[in-house]
């Protein structure tokens, strides 16, 4: 909680950066599995991958459920930490940073829950 409470200024910023880099490393691998679907050279291709039949088959595939779960968590977390970093470059007041952090955190949780609901509904 101190990350949010203090706007990350006091002691946690280096940990956030480390988390950001670790997430990036996972994303590079996970996103390759996602993007290969849209290439007709190695996967079904952009048009076919978006047909309901293909979408439904991926929804029934536990491997893709896992890939999407990993992607959802890593990409969203990476994105929100990144946006927070950018916003902190021109929001310099302590109160502003705390408000920004909490606002982003709430949006992050909402989007994450929406994504989890989608993956759980697909898997069941």
Partner 1 sequence: MFAKRERKYKSTPNRLGVKGWYGSLKYNMEKYLYLLHRITGVGLAAFVILHVILMSSRMFGEEAYHQIHGLLMNPYTDIGMVIVTAALLFHGFNGIRLLLHEYGILFVRPKRPVYPYRVSVKSSGVRLFTILMIILAVLFFIPVLYEYIIIWW
Tell me how far, at minimum, the Cβ of 69 lies from partner 1, in Å: 12
- Shortest Å, Cβ 6 to partner 1: 16
CA distance between the termini of the chain: 33
Using CB under 8 A, list all residues that contact partner 1: 21, 24-25, 27-28, 31, 38-41, 45-47, 50, 52, 55-56, 59, 72, 75-76, 79-80, 82-83, 86, 89-90, 92, 107, 111, 114-115, 117-118, 121-122
CB-wise, 41 or 95, nearer to partner 1?
A: 41
User: Which 3-state string (H, E, C) describes 62-119?
Assistant: HHHHHHHHHHHHHHHHHHHHHHHHHHHCCCCCHHHHHHHHHHHHHHHHHHHHHHHHHH
Q: Quick one: how far is CA 93 from the chain centroid?
A: 27
Beta carbon of residue 1, minimum distance to partner 1 (angstroms, whole number): 23
Q: Do residues 44 and 54 make contact, with C-beta atoms less than 8 angstroms apart?
A: yes
**Closest to partner 1 by CB, 1 or 89:** 89
Shortest distance (Å) from residue 52 CB to partner 1: 5
Which residue lies nearer to partner 1 by CB, 66 or 115? 115
C-alpha to C-alpha distances, 72 to 67, 106, 123, nearest whole angstrom: 8, 16, 15
């Amino acid at each position: 909680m101190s990350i949010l409470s203090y706007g990350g200024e006091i002691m946690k910023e280096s940990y956030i950066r480390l988390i950001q880099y670790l997430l990036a490393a996972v994303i590079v691998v996970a996103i390759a599995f996602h993007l290969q679907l849209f290439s007709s050279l190695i996967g079904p291709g952009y048009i076919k991958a978006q047909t309901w039949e293909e979408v439904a088959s991926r929804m029934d595939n536990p491997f893709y459920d896992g890939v999407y779960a990993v992607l959802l968590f890593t990409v969203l977390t990476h994105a929100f930490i990144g946006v927070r970093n950018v916003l902190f470059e021109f929001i310099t007041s302590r109160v502003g940073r705390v408000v920004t952090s909490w606002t982003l955190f709430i949006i992050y949780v909402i989007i994450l829950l929406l994504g989890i609901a989608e993956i759980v509904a697909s898997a069941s």
